[in-house]
Structure 1
Amino acid sequence: MQPLTDAQIRSAFVNASKREIAQATLPDLDSLKWDKLDALGWRDPKRPVLAYVIVEHEGSPVGAILRTAEPSKARRRMLCSWCQDIVTSDDAVLYVAKRAGAAGRKGNTIGTSICTEFSCSRNVRRTPTTSEVGSDDPTDREAWTARRIATLRERSTHFIAEVLDQSSLD
């Protein structure tokens, strides 16, 4: 992912009002390892039910404000639909985004399970187990990791495309 500025991130949101964009708490952009990010996601520390995600879509950054339920101690184990990592113990939660434009104003939403702390980019880059790859060959491991990165990008981009989809107006 290309490094983004505060202004670029705020202008990338497609499903938010000007007020919501202005109130968004951004992460520390200088501390991010941009070359290791396929999707930039973070939770709002001031409002635990809000989160944000930025994904490259058709060559440009596109962002969505996400909502989740209040944090609960009684959480179900869930698989992240983006990284689908079965080895890490990261929690996943259901995040819901208003659709962009008229569909969102009518209340239409789309949801998916994503790692609670948006650790997907890190998860797909971890060293795979031999049983996952079926081989100890370093070339096979690199190919496995490259496929996982590509799949994460495809799934996160597809989610953003669904947020942008205006065919759900009915």
Structure 2
Amino acid sequence: MRPLGEQDIRNSFVNCSQGEAKRVNLPRDLGERPWDDLDFLGWRDPGAPDRSFLVTERAGRTVGVTLRSSSSRRGFLHRSMCSLCLTTHPGGGVSLMTARKAGPAGREGNSVGLYMCTDLDCSLYVRGRKPPGPGGRFEESLTPEQQIARTTANLSAFLDRLGV
């Protein structure tokens, strides 16, 4: 992914108002992100833990979506799997993230949900750049490149369902 600046990110959101996009708390470490290893930029709002954001490149343009996560916590012995990268995490490491659909459907309150890594570091898990914790990645016969392609295809399918 190419490095993004603050204005690129704010202008990319498709499922919120311009006013909401202006108020998004952006990550302070944009210059330090491992852009070459990212399929998308994802972060949680430190002031509102149930709010997250995801920005990616799609069909030659930058697309951002706002996400809400459920606040239910699961026990440490419970494991869940991310639907994007297929990494498993104990406890609250995977959250149901919902996003309003883009356009009129979103303004009517329609949304789509997907189980995702709570920290939105899917790109780093798939590439082995961040350890997911005990038992987090299954041994697969797919190459890392094929796993990356699957993750981006899963993200693309989610964005399709949002009407982006």
Q: Judging changes above 3 Å, is the alpha-carbon distance between structure 1 residues 46 and 71 closer, same or farther for their aligned structure 2 residues?
A: farther
Counterpart of 1:138?
Answer: none
Q: Judging changes above 3 Å, is the alpha-carbon distance between structure 1 residues 71 and 31 closer, same or farther for their aligned structure 2 residues?
A: farther
1:98 aligns with 2:125: no
Deviation track 1:107-156 (CA, whole Å, cap 9, x = no partner) reads 000000000001101111128xxx8246xxxxxxxx61000111111111
Q: Judging changes above 3 Å, is the alpha-carbon distance between structure 1 residues 146 and 19 closer, same or farther for their aligned structure 2 residues?
A: same
Counterpart of 2:59?
Answer: 58
- Greater per-residue helix proportion: 1
Equivalent residue letter for 1:157:
S
Between the aligned residues of both structures, percent identity stands at 36
Counterpart of 1:39?
Answer: 40
Q: CA deviation at 1:77?
A: 2.9
User: What is the total number of aligned residue pairs between the two structures?
Assistant: 154
Equivalent residue letter for 2:151:
L
Deviation track 1:43-101 (CA, whole Å, cap 9, x = no partner) reads 00011110000122112111100001236365753210000024x65811000000011
Counterpart of 2:135?
Answer: none
| Larger-gyration structure (1/2) | 1
CA distance in 2, matches of 1:45, 1:35: 25
1:6 aligns with 2:13: no
CA distance in 2, matches of 1:153, 1:101: 23
Structure 1 unaligned regions, length at least 5: 135-142, 166-170
**How high is the TM-score relative to the length of structure 1?**
0.82
- What's the secondary structure of 2:82's corresponding residue? coil
CA distance in 1, matches of 2:31, 2:63: 20
1:123 is matched with which residue: 115, 125, 129?
Answer: 125
**How high is the TM-score relative to the length of structure 2?**
0.85
Q: CA deviation at 1:161?
A: 2.0
Counterpart of 1:81?
Answer: 83
Counterpart of 1:132?
Answer: 139
Q: Is the 8 A contact 1:15 1:100 kept in 2?
A: yes
- What's the secondary structure of 2:43's corresponding residue? strand
Q: Is the 8 A contact 1:62 1:160 kept in 2?
A: no
- What's the secondary structure of 1:41's corresponding residue? strand
CA distance in 1, matches of 2:69, 2:120: 13
Q: Judging changes above 3 Å, is the alpha-carbon distance between structure 1 residues 73 and 5 closer, same or farther for their aligned structure 2 residues?
A: same
Q: Is the 8 A contact 1:55 1:156 kept in 2?
A: no
Q: CA deviation at 1:19?
A: 1.9
